[in-house]
A and B are shown apart, each in its own frame.
Chain A
């Protein structure tokens, strides 16, 4: 394992209601090294997903310091953050969030299009990923024609199509059967073995066992970090 790829220092997030502040995250200090497979666990409402979305730069209203490799995210503007996001991250959602009006092929193509990659290159990359995930036969189907497991597979394929260094996964097996969930976790393991840093939010202890570290959060505080 090498140097830290994600570092949070004294990060806090709260909502203000008049004079009162309701904290969602409190004094979060975390370091995630490159190549790690980290699981964030905790009860409902603890702040797990909030932290994950903060790491994925979906949320910009927080305080503290956030370093992505050597980039000080807290000092960057929205545009620069977006550029770094595109370069480093892939996101997997619990509800898959595939685009219903696009085919499987197009869902994989769209992140590459947003990264201004030429069409010929995109075609080649998408075909390669379809093959890798063994979903070539499904490339012209729409999400509503796939099972839950197949949709999540496509969602993971979409998350890695631009070869991100980090995958953030929010309850990736939350809406799946256990057998489908096992397949997905095996896939994550394989990606991690290939060098991709993975941070997942999960309730499932079996899923957490695929990782090499667990961060526990309760009421917005990190309570412990165990390997």
Chain B
């Protein structure tokens, strides 16, 4: 212990006496360790920590149907499954909603979920206040709220229980408040009872989760689910194909696992580069400490004791770097959370720095000290005493080979990171340049979810929306207004089949979106009319049904024939009045995101001819204006509330922002990888600068002799640059080989770019070579100014 205390004291003193070295080493280590701790904080909370429910491994997601991006179960199957499954203790159906909460002052939109009573025993989480609802509760009358909603809109009032509020215009009694942090499904603020009651001619789909019985595995539950699905649809041989059971944690994590591990890998590279840098610094410093080490050995220090003393310095450096890294992590994690697009990373609200992160940082610091400290310590302790104890023999050029290897390694690692970032940036740029099919500039969009009223008629709803549009049309600067129930790039999309008149069975059977629109919608959003006409005032509820189709529908259904005048229907069993006549053809548009390989084809109807009330409850108004739209948003909000002060606005944003939101994820990755690779490039440049600067110092005598023998400054400059270029080219070569293998993991994150895109590889390699050669320039210039008279007296 005493010897250790001695070593620590000496180490502190040695580091204090060399402030420049210590500062640079600490900075490099803090960046490397801090970045790793920050990303690991997210990985730990999101991927590694179990879900915040008791025995969460027993909770599974169960499905019997698949849609793009969704796995669900229909209502009929759920009812049967709940009765007949023997694998699950409890199962529950969940339907997330966007609802409106009124009766508390200003009306607000809330994320809500209707859930069957089994929801609470599946998640085994008791409320913090009051109770949850069960099978005996009136499904229309009660609700449970989140802790977040209770604090933000009810001032954490402990007498909240029994308070009546309106949710989607229906009065509900608040009977319970869930504990802080409980928000399942993600970000849900209120839960109301769901009664699953299948009706003929209707079908609802739900997310279904269940808690496995003790001793039942996921595999057994999956097999049972497939059996039940096949039994319920015995005529369909493939009924069980889409049935499955996976752990809830797995179903929530989906794609994000790969992305987070990519980020963790990237910061791991930074740490390796930082370690190589610090190791190089230690090796360079070691040269001046050779004599000290030799003297210590001559005083009786064993090799183990020398290595331990040197390693104590590395460990101290690393631990201090770890402390600074932890401070960096404390700053970086909230910034990272703020920069993460909404909904991209599940469980983000659970991310926190806790004792596990402290332990990780400490462990990483210790491991880092081994990584960068071991080689220099062993190298230095191999002192050939006689060589260093004799008077005047200060020449030492050992470990140059090791330093060169480290620098080549840094260059290689930096190149891999840079190429990854380059691919993401190119992918993002290509994505952003995709034409969505409409003009998003200077267009604002406002969305509402009107409450369901069983007595409401479609005409009333249409009149409501037309009134809103008329009000918006008179705002200053507005050039056109329109409305659509399923706005492109919004969360919602209704899709289904359509049939043409050509044959009695569906010949043109393919998935289309079926939005209802006002006549000026196409003008407002900037979708081109290709043929025929747009909807007008003559397309009324009493006139024959009209449809406008997108170009891909026209091509699919009628090939080269003119689609104008052709007939189609959106109903499976159409009455005569369900047949629609095509009056126009418009451009296809992207519906969900810019990365859609093929646009979702669309069959548009005038909203005056939409027959289902619930299709007119969710509406998006599109307002196109001249010039700047930022001031217009305030006016739109105010004008809307003149018409309906109690209706919350679901969202109000520029169309450009809606599109941006769908590219938020690739933008995030580009920024993250771009930032990491910039740090790596800086560290690698410092690394090569350090190696070349040291090499020039070591070669001072040799350079002096060369100059004295007639070498020109240009010769000296060239020799230094060539030496550096060889190291850089070696690093680039190894980095390219590594990148070919590593960048394949980015495959699923890239848009329209191959992971081995030659142009990116070439451009990034050239950039790195240039930066590295710039880093060599200063030492090379310094080498040309060596005075032979001074150099030859160097000893």
Contacts and interface: CB of A to CB of B under 8 A. Distances in A.
A95 B17 contact: no
B10 A101 contact: yes
B300 A101 contact: no
Contacts of B301: 114
Nearest to B304: A79
Interface string A107-135: 00011011100110000000000000000
B300 A99 contact: no
Residue from B295, B296, B301 having most chain A Cβ neighbours under 10 A = B295
B8 to A, nearest CB: 13
A171 B391 contact: yes
Contact of A114 (B17, B291, B305): B305
A9 interface: no
Contacts of B6: 113
Interface stretch (B382-390, B607-615, B775-783): B382-390
A146 interface: no
Contacts of A171: 391
B482 to A, nearest CB: 79
A99 B298 contact: no
A99 B295 contact: yes
B355 interface: no
Interface in A31-83: 49-50, 53, 56, 58-59, 79, 82
B300 A114 contact: yes
B296 A91 contact: no
Nearest to A78: B303
A191 interface: no
B540 interface: no
A102 B13 CA distance: 9
A101 B302 contact: no
Contacts of A174: 391
Given A110-B296, A114-B302, A58 B389 contact: yes
B2, B296, B385, B389 — most chain A CB neighbours (10 Å): B389
B20 interface: no
B10 A119 contact: no
Interface in B277-336: 291-292, 295-296, 298-302, 305
Contact of A53 (B295, B299, B385): B385
Nearest to B6: A113
Nearest to A102: B10
Interface string B2-18: 11001000100110010
B2 A119 contact: yes
Contact of B299 (A50, A100, A110, A170): A110
A99 B309 CA distance: 14
Contacts of B292: 99-101
A97 interface: yes
A86 interface: yes
Interface in B212-241: none
Contacts of A95: 391
A171 B390 CA distance: 11
A59 B385 contact: yes
A94 interface: yes
Contacts of B10: 101-102
B292 to A, nearest CB: 6
A174 B385 CA distance: 20
Contacts of B389: 53, 58, 93, 97
Nearest to B301: A114
B287 to A, nearest CB: 16
A85 interface: yes
Contacts of B296: 99, 110, 114
Nearest to A112: B300
A83 B125 CA distance: 68
A115 B14 contact: no
A61 to B, nearest CB: 9
Interface in B353-408: 385-386, 389-391
A101 B386 contact: no
Nearest to B16: A101
Contacts of B385: 53, 58-59
A143 to B, nearest CB: 11
Contacts of A170: 391
Contacts of A101: 10, 13-14, 17, 292
A158 B302 CA distance: 18
Contacts of A59: 385-386
A82 B302 contact: yes
Contacts of B386: 50, 53, 58-59
Contacts of B291: 97
Contact of A85 (B14, B300, B391): B300
A110 B299 CA distance: 8
B299 A56 contact: no
Nearest to A97: B295
Interface string A139-168: 000000000000000000010001000000
A73 to B, nearest CB: 15
Contacts of A110: 296, 299
Contacts of A85: 300
A99 B301 CA distance: 13
Interface in B1-48: 2-3, 6, 10, 13-14, 17
Contacts of A53: 385-386, 389-390
Given A53-B385, A53-B386, A113-B3, A58 B298 contact: yes
- The listed residue with most B CB atoms (<10 A of its CB), out of A53, A97, A118, A170, is A97
A158 B14 CA distance: 21
Contacts of A118: 2
A116 to B, nearest CB: 8
A171 B391 CA distance: 10
B106 to A, nearest CB: 69
B166 to A, nearest CB: 76
Contacts of B300: 82, 85-86, 111, 114-115, 162
A23 B391 CA distance: 20
A154 to B, nearest CB: 13
Given A58-B298, A58-B385, A162-B300, 5 more contacts: A49-B390, A91-B299, A97-B291, A97-B389, A110-B296
Interface of B: 2-3, 6, 10, 13-14, 17, 291-292, 295-296, 298-302, 305, 385-386, 389-391
28 contacts: A53-B386, A53-B389, A56-B298, A58-B298, A58-B385, A58-B389, A79-B302, A85-B300, A91-B298, A93-B389, A95-B391, A97-B298, A99-B295, A100-B292, A102-B10, A110-B299, A111-B299, A113-B6, A114-B296, A114-B299, A114-B300, A114-B302, A114-B305, A118-B2, A158-B299, A162-B300, A170-B391, A171-B391
* Minimum-distance CB pairs A-B, first 4: A114-B300, A58-B385, A59-B386, A86-B300
